[in-house]
């Protein structure tokens, strides 16, 4: 189906089940592929109906959240229907006593962070791209330096609701950290880039906001020194929350906890990292950010391979 002649039949069928449906615009292209139609369901039931109609009419579907990572992954062959999640942007539940929160897929991560912070809690995922949504973060499997201690989305998602390509709603997990209800869709969908179904809701395991934070940053010269610095920290009792190589020439370590403990661990790190190490209460420039450029490559390797990368 070509964008310029999106069939009125498909538009009409989608309009009967979704309150926000329209033809796609050239500026909404996904890696050069313009969508013929755009639908923005307002809840899980609408999303299921949209996907059902798309399946019945043979429409190729691409999900869209905040568009911060829409150009990640392989380009679609077709984009007959762009399903936009921006209307599903609520915090469904926050059980602060259980350190659990359930959010809709279109909720921006930074706004979720603000809501959780009101009760001194957080979802321990970095947000390097403002506007990133809950669903997009899970679909991209995106994580930053905090993954060193807290893991990636697949480690923090304890429940997931998705809509399959045929419009059927599937749920897994629950509202407790230790649960074995159903298949672990969370791990399957993390990093799926929207190819397995439409993520509509997610339940997360939370952590308390730390009372204090400190970054210890030092200069390094070459991959060998980076490796030595990282290994010295990992094999120490400091228990860092994150370690990042901010190239070129800088390694930074984050420690979190109670003020006295953070101060003591930061001083210990300066001894490990050498005389050039500095302690700051704010993140160094470049911390948790993606490098500049138009190409981003994710490389996974064992720590022993670091000097050779």
For position 275, what pLDDT does the model report? 76
pLDDT bin (cut points 50, 70, 90) of residue 248 is confident
- Where do the DSSP E strands lie in the chain? 21-23, 37-39, 61-64, 81-84, 91-95, 100-104, 121-122, 157-163, 169-173, 198-205, 207-208, 212-219, 242-245, 250-257, 278-280
In this prediction the pTM is 0.90
Torsion of CA 201, 75, 246, 229, to 10 degrees: 80
Q: Please compute the mean of the pLDDT values over residues 177-192 and round it to a whole number.
A: 76
- The mean pLDDT value of the chain amounts to 91
- Residue 87 tokens, joined: 């209307």
pLDDT tens digits for range 157-172: 999 999 999 999 999 9
Average pLDDT over residues 237-255: 93
pLDDT > 90? residue 32: no
**Residue 40 CB: number of other CB atoms within 10 A?**
21
Question: Which tokens hold the place of 128?
Answer: 């390097």
- Residue 23: pLDDT band (50, 70, 90) is very high
Span 58-78, mean pLDDT? Answer: 91
For position 180, what pLDDT does the model report?
54
List CB contacts of 142: < 8 A, sequence separation 6 or more: 69, 125, 128, 132, 136, 152, 153
* Farthest CA pair distance, the chain: 70
Q: How confident is the model at residue 74 (pLDDT cuts 50, 70, 90)?
A: confident
Q: From CA 41, how far away is CA 258, in angstroms rounded?
A: 44
Domains of the chain, start order:
3-84 (3.30.43.10), 91-208 (3.30.465.10), 212-308 (3.30.1360)
pLDDT for residue 267 is more than 80: yes
For residue 141, the model assigns a pLDDT of 93
Task: Provide the β-strand partners of residue 103.
Answer: 91, 202
Radius of gyration in angstroms for the set of CA atoms belonging to the chain, rounded to a whole number: 22
Q: Give 285-297 pLDDT, tens digit per residue.
A: 999 988 777 777 8
> In which residue are the tokens 């996907």 written?
51
Q: How far is CA 249 from CA 13, 218, 254, 297, in A?
A: 57, 8, 17, 20
301 against 101, higher pLDDT: 101
Band of pLDDT at residue 3, cut at 50, 70 and 90: very low
> How many CB atoms are closer than 10 A to CB 31?
13
């Amino acid at each position: 189906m070509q964008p310029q002649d999106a069939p009125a039949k498909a538009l009409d069928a989608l309009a009967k089940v979704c309150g926000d449906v329209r033809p796609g615009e050239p500026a909404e292209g996904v890696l050069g592929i313009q969508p013929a139609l755009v639908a923005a369901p307002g809840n899980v039931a609408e999303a299921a109906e949209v996907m059902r109609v798309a399946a019945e009419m043979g429409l190729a579907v691409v999900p869209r959240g905040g568009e911060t990572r829409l150009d990640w992954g392989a380009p679609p062959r077709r984009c007959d229907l762009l399903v936009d999640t921006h209307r599903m942007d609520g915090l469904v539940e926050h059980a602060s006593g259980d350190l659990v929160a359930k959010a809709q897929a279109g909720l921006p991560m930074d706004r979720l962070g603000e809501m959780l912070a009101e009760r001194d809690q957080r979802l321990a995922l970095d947000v390097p791209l403002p506007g990133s949504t809950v669903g997009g973060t899970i679909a991209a499997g995106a994580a930053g330096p905090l993954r060193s201690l807290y893991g990636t989305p697949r480690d923090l998602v304890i429940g997931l609701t998705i809509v399959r390509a045929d419009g059927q709603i599937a749920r897994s997990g629950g509202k407790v950290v230790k649960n074995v209800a159903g298949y672990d869709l969370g791990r399957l969908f993390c990093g799926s880039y929207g190819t397995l179904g439409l993520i509509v809701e997610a339940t997360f395991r939370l952590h308390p906001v730390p009372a204090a934070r400190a970054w210890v940053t030092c200069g390094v010269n070459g991959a060998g020194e980076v490796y030595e610095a990282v290994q010295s920290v990992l094999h120490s009792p400091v228990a860092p929350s994150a370690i990042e190589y901010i190239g070129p020439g800088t390694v930074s370590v984050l420690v979190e906890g109670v003020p006295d403990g953070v101060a003591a661990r930061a001083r210990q790190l300066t001894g490990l990292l050498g005389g050039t190490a500095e302690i700051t209460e704010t993140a160094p420039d470049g911390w948790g950010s993606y490098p500049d450029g138009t190409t981003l490559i994710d490389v996974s390797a064992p720590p022993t391979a670091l000097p050779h990368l």
